[in-house]
Amino acid sequence: MINGFEFAGQLNAGKFFLRGNITALKGDVRFSPDDIDRNHTGSHHVQPYNYGSFIDDVVATRRLIRKPAVTGYAEAGFRFSDNLRASAILRHGGSRYDVVYDPTLGPFGALGRVNVKTYDLIDLVSTWQVTDSWLVGVKVENLFDSDYLEIQGFQTRGRSMYLKIQFKW
């Protein structure tokens, strides 16, 4: 069971605007041999990958795998005119546990855990509504080219730049 809350808000003050959210999660994971359909598994052992333990006894943990306890988003922007705006965005990913195979644990290697560190990323965004039909936007993600992980063993993007040209009819 996962419990949590999320707060979100927006504030407009003249040409300035702020918006953001924060999410907090907490959970308990339980497995029991009674949860297994023996006809479906052919009476083979069951080992959920994300938690590693074989379900031959009740398994309970408060460590949620790949789910950060806290995530957040904050955006501060300025409207230069009705058609032109720019903003800076902070994206926060809290620390979390992930699964790794640890050969030093022998046949229980899938029980290996690693703490994936917290990260904060800064993005810049600007949009220009050229006409009622045309919009041009530029976005730079991970402005400072931070090294970070979301999932152990998978590389994340470095600094990225996007150009958006949109036509509505």
Mean pLDDT, rounded, for 14-25: 97
What is the residue extent of each domain of the chain? 2-26+65-167
Residue 35 has pLDDT above 70, yes or no: yes
pLDDT of amino acid 10: 97
DSSP 41-97: HTT-----TTT---SSS-EEES--BT--SEEEEEEEEEESSSSEEEEEEEEEE--EE
- Quote the pTM value: 0.80
DSSP H or E run through 144: none
**pLDDT > 70 fraction of the chain, expressed in percent and rounded:** 96
Instruction: Report the 10 Å Cβ neighbour count for 93.
Output: 18
- d(CA 8, CA 18) in angstroms, rounded, equals 11
Give residue 106's pLDDT band: very low, low, confident or very high (50, 70, 90).
confident
Give residue 52's pLDDT band: very low, low, confident or very high (50, 70, 90).
low
pLDDT of amino acid 37: 78
Mean pLDDT, rounded, for 22-27: 92
Residue 49 has pLDDT above 70, yes or no: no
Give residue 121's pLDDT band: very low, low, confident or very high (50, 70, 90).
very high
